[in-house]
Structure formats: structure tokens, C-alpha cells
Structure 1
Amino acid sequence: MIVIADVSVPASQFPLGRVLDGFPDVELELERIVPLREAVIPLFWVRDGDTEAVEETLRADPVTNSVTRLTTTGARVLYQIEWSPEVNGLVQSLLSSDAKLLAAAGTAGVWDFRIQFQTRADLGRFRESCEEAGISLTLRRLYNPTLPERSGNLSTEQYEALVAAYRAGYFEVPRGSKMGDLAAEFDVSDSAFSQRIRRGISSFIAETLMPEFGRTGGRTGPVSWDTDRDTQ
């Protein structure tokens, strides 16, 4: 059964966190980590702050081979880093446990991760690997999602539009991006992109919140690392 864990890690114990000691106001959002035979490549967004200074600090990190600025959206910049194979700690624990990183964001103080494991045994192995590497994990939430079968109502275009809008802060208050900027990324008109957003939200609600499609169970508050316990 799939298990999803929300965990927190001191920034000093994660490579992207260590480089932010001098940038307390900068926020990073990890897009994904791509493991290669010769390197590990994370893609991440930098929000606010002096991005040039952040770039210089990233380049100076001992495990960094290269830093590439990919795109800029509003107040956010997307970067790609190539880490040397020697990068270890939490990164290697994630890769070795075959975990799926669903979300990750952090500052100079702490990093929060949402991680999906295929089984509770995989979660247990991830925890043991982190303990061996001296990583201090705090488990904030643990749950077994009830995953509905996708009805197909949410189109690929709608899905991509919703994800892009969310990542760009479009649904935040105040908004972190404008409809026109998002539409330009997809090379469509403001009206066309707005329709994708509205129809996508409608389809998403129909698929995930209506009783016939089931709900996701979970619990909040302090959570035990006892992965043999039922979290529903």
C-alpha cells in the first residue's frame, strides 16, 4: 500500500539548504531530482532575494559541478544544478529507497518534504538510511491515500495549466503571477488560458471531492514513526 510522509529536515542537512545560510529571506522550491549515472541533477525555483548572489554561492559549493538558469517567471527563477556523484545524506537516502518526491520547499532554517513510498517497508528503509547518515528527520504527517481511478475529465492541457498556475503563485493572496504571463508561457490567449483554469478546477473538484470518487484519509499533529500502525 502506498504511504505518503510529510517530513522536515534542518536546512544544514540538505545541500540546497546549506547554501542559504546567508540568505534568510530566500525561499527555494524543489521541482524534482533527476539521478544520472555520473551526476545528480535537482531542478528548483528561487523566490525573492538576490538571485545572482545565490548563484555564486551555489557555484562555490563543493558538490556542485554546474549551475544553469533555465527560466524566469515573475519573482521566481528556475535553476538546474549538476551535483557530483559524491553528494550524500538525504539525497542518497531518497534515491536508494526509490521514493517519489512529491513536493519540497525550504529556507535557510528548515526544509519540508512530501515523499511517496510504495510500501511501509520502503519508508522504514528510508528512515534507517537517514539515521545512518546522521539526518534528523521530523515526521509531521503520515497517511495512506485512497487513490480514485482517474475518469479522464481533466485533460492534459488543463492539468498543465493548473500545475503551472499553482507553482507560479497564481492562487495565492496576493497573486504571485498574472494570467497574461502564464498564458504567454503556453503561447495562448489570456481567455483561452482562463478557460483551461476554470474547466480544470471544475473537473478536479468533480473527480476528487464528490463522494462517489472517494476521499483521502489522513491525520495531522504529532505522528509516530511506527510504520506498522494504521494511519487511516
Structure 2
Amino acid sequence: MSIVAEFSLSTEEFVFGSALSTAEDMQIELEAIIPTGPRLVPYFWATGDGFEGFERNVLSDPSVESITQLDRIDDTALYRTAWGTDVDSLLQGLADTEAVVLEAMTADDGWHFRVRFSDRHLLGQFYDYCTERGIDIDIERVHALSEASRAGRVFDLTPEQREAIVLAVRWGYFAVPRETDLSQIADELGISQQAASKRVRRGADKVLRGALLDPGTWT
């Protein structure tokens, strides 16, 4: 049975995360990890200001070969990076265990991950991998996907994403013409417009993937 593990770790334990932490005012969220030969190609979203300076700072890290902006929506941009052959141990461990990263974002003092594994054996294999390499991860929660989730009915939304996406639907954010905007949703939730945009976007992405795609193609 598929399970979801939530864990956190410091920026120092996550080499790729360290390369992205050069801009303190930029919020980072890992989108996907694609193995390409001996390399891992991470995709991530960056939200904030000063993208050109951010890109220069990331490229200054010797482990980063290139960074490419693929798309940009207001203050949020999607990037693809080329990572050196000496790949990040944490990302390699996730790739080796065929884990699906549901959520990975910068937190106050490090990174927070939500990851789906096919079974507990693979989660244990990933934990052993980290332990053997001295990567200190703090596993906060492990739970099995419900039957509804596996059938694509729950979509594995976080409570915050569900709250935002339900409000957006009820208030007509997706209607044509649009009946509300992100600033109103943000005010109702008591969060910034940037945070509201992120919750609605990520929530909508999970719902669409769960409704339209086979789980094996989510990455």
C-alpha cells in the first residue's frame, strides 16, 4: 500500500537546497526530480522578487551547471536546473526509491518534504540510505493513502490547499468571467496574496492530476 511520509531537514543537510538559499526573500518549492543519465534534473518554483539576481547567485554555486527559467506567472517562476554528476545525496535517495515528491518547500530553518512511497519497505530503504550518508532527516508523520485517495477522490491536498481551492471555487475564481480575485481570497484566509496564489495553483494542479492522469504519470 502506498504511504506518505512527511519529514524535515536543515538546509545544510540538503545540498541542492543550499544552492537555492542564496536569496532569503525567495520562497522555493521543488516541483519534480527527473533522472537523466548520471544526472538529476530538478524542477522548482521560485516566488518573490529579483529573479535575475537569484539566477546569478544560484549559478555561482559550483555544483550547479545551468539554470533555465521555463515559465513565469506574476511573481512566480518555474525553473529547470542542470546538476553536476556528483548529485545531491538526498535527491538521489528519492530517485533510487522511486519516491514521488508531493511537496517540498523552504521552511523557517530548512526544508519540509511530503513524499509518497509505494510501500513501507521503500520508505525504510530511503531512511537507511540517509542514515548511512549522515543525512539527518526528522520524520514527522507517516500515513497510508486512503482508498479514496488512491481512487483520485482526495488528491492528497494539504488542509491549507483544500481550504484555498474550495474557497476559490465557491467564490467564482474559476468562473468566466471571474467573480473574485486572489486578493479577496487572501484577505478571507488571512494570508498574503502570494501565499494564496501558491495554495490555489498547487491545489488546482493536484486536483487536475488526480482527476485526469494515472498516478504513475504524476511526476
Q: Secondary structure at the match of 1:25?
A: coil
Distance 2:108 2:22 in 1: 8
Equivalence for 1:34: 34
In the aligned structure 1, how far is the partner of 2:195 from the partner of 2:114? 24
SS in 2 for 1:61: coil
List per-residue Cα deviations over 1:85-107 (Å, max 9, x = no partner): 21132111111111111111115
Q: Aligned residue for 2:88?
A: 88
- The match for 2:172 is none
- Per-residue CA deviation, residues 176-230 of structure 1 (Å, 9 max, x unaligned), is 3999xx9xxxxxxxxxxxxxx8xx89xx9xxxxxxxxxxxxxxxxxxxxxxxxxx
Query: How large is the RMSD of aligned CA atoms in angstroms?
Result: 3.2
Contact between 2:22 and 2:57, CA under 8 Å: does it hold in 1?
no
Q: Normalising by the residue count of structure 2, what TM-score does the alignment of the two structures yield?
A: 0.67
Segments of 4+ in structure 1 off by > 6 A? none
Structure 2 residue identity aligned to 1:26: M
Q: Secondary structure at the match of 1:176?
A: helix
The CA deviation at 1:81 is 0.2
Q: Which runs of 5+ in 1 are unaligned?
A: 155-161, 183-196, 205-232
Structure 2 stretches lacking a partner, 5+ long: 156-164, 169-180, 212-219
CA distance in 2, matches of 1:146, 1:101: 18
2: CA distance between counterparts of 1:177 and 1:143? 26
Q: Per-residue deviation at 1:21? A: 4.6
Taking structure 1 as reference, are residues 13 and 122 closer, same or farther at Cα in structure 2, changes over 3 Å only? same
Summarize the Cα distance change of 1:107–1:16 in structure 2 as closer, same or farther, 3 Å threshold.
Answer: farther
Residue 105 to residue 134, structure 1, CA distance change in 2 (3 Å): same
- Counterpart code for 1:76: T
Q: Which has the larger radius of gyration?
A: 1
Question: Hey, what does 2:124 align to over in structure 1?
Answer: 124
C-alpha deviation, 1:55, in angstroms = 0.7
Query: Contact 1:55–1:67 (CA<8 Å) still a contact in 2?
Result: yes
Higher helix share: 2
Report whether the alignment pairs 1:144 with 2:162.
no
